[in-house]
Structure 1
Amino acid sequence: MDTDLLKTFLEVSRTRHFGRAAEALYLTQSAVSFRIRQLENQLGVSLFTRHRNNIRLTTAGERLLPYAESLMSTWQAAKKEVAHTTRHNEFSIGASASLWECMLSGWLARLYHQHDGMQFEARIAQRQSLVKQLHERQLDLLITTEAPKMDEFASQLLGSFSLALYCSSPETSKVGLNYLRLEWGPDFQQHESGLLAHDDVPMLTTSSAKIAQRLLPELKGCTWLPVQWAKERTNLYTVTDSPVLSRPLYAIWLQNSDKQNAIKEILRMSVLS
């Protein structure tokens, strides 16, 4: 289907005049008539009734109209999306909500200062979804707490950060506190086992550190938060009888990514500074 034919059909149906349609499309009136005849020949129906200056859509034309509008809208969206993905100064980074909130938002701000002209997309999703997007080339870089498990991925250890168990009251032990699960990856679950009874469940499960922090006093809860992030906030206190845990942080990307140079430049900026 030639989209120019649909565009011409829509303009004639809007103006109900071949001459005005020709002016709007910067065409001659004969070119507009020719395009409409081409479209009618392809469809095997007449689309307009022509009686001097009285031009009306036929029943077939009326039925084609919503499809033509939808097809042109889809075509415009497709052109915009394709052009969007071919801009070499765009770069998409994916991570969990907790990582963006606790350490990556500041890193992204520093990236903007260092890489003038770059356009970043900060994508929030579960790790499994982000790995799939990375594999399908819908994502350029993944920041996560777990090492890659696929050979086609390259990775760089960015460092590590500390997690401690926090609550909203000072000098509180974990006995009697409700556990709020802030997701730090599947392999972190082994560290949570000591906080829950065999048949117990967390009162809250979330991927947002801000939500977990907000609900600590209301739920009389405790949750694992990054130590450095928690120090910058008020009314957060470490649970007295809990350890401090270390978590690694990895950058992961496709080995054959066409943005290797941009990845190397971006990773020069320390995430954990």
Structure 2
Amino acid sequence: MDTELLKTFLEVSRTRHFGRAAEALYLTQSAVSFRIRQLENQLGVNLFTRHRNNIRLTPAGEKLLPYAETLMSTWQTARKEVAQTSRHNEFSIGASASLWECMLSAWLSRLYRSHGHLQFEARIAQRQSLVKQLHERQLDLLITTEAPKMDEFSSQVLGQFSLALYASEPARTKAELSYLRLEWGPDFHQHEVGLIAADDVPVLTTSSAEIACQQLSSLKGCTWLPMNWANKKGELHTVTDSATLQRPLYAIWLQNSDKQEQIKDVLKINVME
């Protein structure tokens, strides 16, 4: 039995809506429908009746529900117990590539100096993937520029950092430069208005600040970079007619995480130095 099928079944039975279940599971609606069909094929019964937006459990679905809940609870307990034997001192932190490059790599060095008893894992991925890993207890702590959107998460504001448009040559204006999009989260896209035409696309899109910087000269471009980091790199110049933007930085973790004490200790070390 694939536990992901049972997990999907439980979410659809909770929400009574394939779209909302897909959103909660970070899947497409078609993927949720496919999983339910797989489970129904394995069991040889229909689990839901579907009449437009009215989704109900069939009698077979009602019978399966308590077993599915028990199986998933047992599986989660087993995963937790097994993981504790191998991850007692391992602490996983996830963030985007640009955050690791511009801020978190130096923070990780400070963590090793103050928490030498821990074995850290630094994960790089898109925020959506990391939120899913956090929810499934595969990740201990997420550092991101966006506030949490699920009630089961706790969060702490770590501070703010300043972004500015940088180019490889001095005294350039936005109109003279092509735009390189460095991902700073979906809610950051509103700040890109005016940098490119409505029907145009960036010449480069990346989640890596290092890659964006390496291409500034050859592409005659500009990109948003943290000012502290860009100024330390040198050979980068602010675009003359651009504004400075402030971005928040959040630490996010599960409210019922079994690493609460470690999370508190780790967050005592300032990320923003």
TM-score (norm 2): 0.69
Matches of 1:129 and 1:89, distance apart in 2: 23
Matches of 1:161 and 1:204, distance apart in 2: 23
Match of 1:232, SS state, is helix
Equivalences, count: 194
2:113 matches 1:116: no
Amino acid at match of 2:257: S
Instruction: List alignment gaps of at least 5 residues for structure 2.
Output: 1-81
Task: Show the counterpart of 1:15.
Answer: none
Task: Show the counterpart of 1:104.
Answer: 104
**Identity over aligned residues, as a percent?**
73
Match of 1:213, SS state, is helix
Question: What pairs up with 1:74-153 in 2 under 5 angstroms?
Answer: 82=82, 86-153=86-153
Question: What pairs up with 1:199-238 in 2 under 5 angstroms?
Answer: 199-238=199-238
Distance apart, 1:83 and its partner CA: 6.2
Matches of 1:85 and 1:128, distance apart in 2: 28
Task: Show the counterpart of 1:250.
Answer: 250
Matches of 2:86 and 2:258, distance apart in 1: 11
Matches of 2:100 and 2:268, distance apart in 1: 18
Matches of 1:239 and 1:129, distance apart in 2: 33
Matches of 2:226 and 2:115, distance apart in 1: 27
Structure with higher Rg: it is 1
Compared with structure 1, are the counterparts of its residues 126 and 85 closer, same or farther at alpha carbon in structure 2 (3 Å cutoff)?
A: farther
The runs of at least 4 consecutive aligned structure 1 residues that moved more than 2 Å come to 82-87
TM-score (norm 1): 0.69
Amino acid at match of 2:253: W
Match of 2:235, SS state, is coil
Question: What pairs up with 1:4-15 in 2 under 5 angstroms?
Answer: none
Root-mean-square deviation (CA), in Å? 1.5
Task: Show the counterpart of 1:259.
Answer: 259
Matches of 1:244 and 1:169, distance apart in 2: 18
Compared with structure 1, are the counterparts of its residues 85 and 142 closer, same or farther at alpha carbon in structure 2 (3 Å cutoff)?
A: farther
Matches of 1:83 and 1:269, distance apart in 2: 26
2:176 matches 1:186: no
CA displacement, residues 83-107 of structure 1 (integer Å, 9 cap, x when unaligned): 6863321100000000000000000
Distance apart, 1:136 and its partner CA: 0.4
CA displacement, residues 214-250 of structure 1 (integer Å, 9 cap, x when unaligned): 0000000000000000011121000000000000000
Task: Show the counterpart of 1:269.
Answer: 269
